[in-house]
Amino acid sequence: MRLSEARQKLMTILGRLYDSRESSAINELVLEKITGWGKIERVIHKDEELSFTKEKLLEIYLADLSRGRPVQYVLGEAWFCGMRFMVDENVLIPRPETEELVQWVVSDLNEQTADRHTYSNYRGKLKMMDVGTGSGCIAVTIASKFPAIDVQACDISNKSLLLAHQNAAANGVSVQFGLLDVLNKGQRKSISDFDVIVSNPPYIPLIEKETLHVNVVNFEPHEALFVGNNDPLVFYEAIADLGMEKLSRPGSIYVETHEKMGANVKKLFLDKGFQNIAIRKDLHGKQRLVKATLLL
């Protein structure tokens, strides 16, 4: 099978599940993984025959992709903020909206670490906690940009933490990972104080499950996606309480949220005693990113 034929075969199968733009993007990821060539090289070698091994690998990928399995799980990797992360069905696939949340944190940390007097009670290293770390993409990315910051991360899943450990090691950064259920008040008492808390918690009400693409519902971990219809802000309340208990003054919380819940999350933080609540739109113009600060 020639490379050009492999491309067409992929597009035919992917076209049954995705629009042309997404099909093309997945196609490029798969062919780059199989061949090891960049886009220009693949154009140059489009008439080259795939080896037996590469053709068999393509067939394995096609079988997985045809049943809706996300390409990131098929290939075992995802890219986030220019870094490679190992992923599987135990963790959410990192998304561009979360990259925007990290960019906000990074921008603020650049200012704060440049001027230590930003923290009136500065006691040495800045400390950050990533709540519900999953693959570790948030914690590992920030640790890579700020080696002097004490970055910690927690999750309720041992399997997620194992993968996050591997991603930290693969990217050459130091992150302290720990098992923690943020909804458990007793467990929250056991952790130390922080200057920054970041989280992309579960926030999709179960009632919306049927509106999601099959590759999300059938493959990504539901415990990292969904919350009950009656209490969709349960994780934000727990994170706000964690902040009131453990956040230095001044200190900030950054969260990603549902496009319809930004105003509700802002009100929750205000009711808990936070100040300077800011909401930012994501790349699609939806109010998905929230920052809440404790000054006193």
Residues 6+ apart with CB under 8 A from 168: 136, 139, 140, 143, 174, 175, 177
Among candidate residues 128, 147, 292, the one with its CA nearest the CA of residue 195? 128
Residues 6+ apart with CB under 8 A from 149: 109, 113, 125, 126, 127, 128, 142, 143
Assign 48 to helix, strand or coil. coil
pLDDT computed for residue 120 by the predictor: 38
Residues 164-206 pLDDT 10s: 999 999 999 999 999 999 999 999 988 889 999 999 999 999 9
Q: Please report which helix (H) or strand (E) contains residue 246, including its range.
A: helix 234-246
Residues 90-141 pLDDT 10s: 999 999 999 999 999 999 999 877 655 444 344 468 999 999 999 999 999 9
Residues 6+ apart with CB under 8 A from 258: 203, 204, 205, 232, 288
Assign 53 to helix, strand or coil. helix
Has residue 214 got a pLDDT over 90? Answer: no
Q: How far apart are CA 86 and CA 163, in angstroms?
A: 7
Among candidate residues 170, 167, 236, 242, the one with its CA nearest the CA of residue 200? 236
pLDDT computed for residue 61 by the predictor: 97
Written as six digits, the tokens of 255 are: 């969260």
pLDDT computed for residue 115 by the predictor: 59
Residues 15-47 pLDDT 10s: 999 999 999 999 999 999 999 999 999 999 999
Has residue 48 got a pLDDT over 60? Answer: yes
pLDDT above 90 covers what percent of the chain? 91
pLDDT computed for residue 121 by the predictor: 43
DSSP, res 223: G
Q: For the residues 225-248, what does the mean pLDDT come to?
A: 96
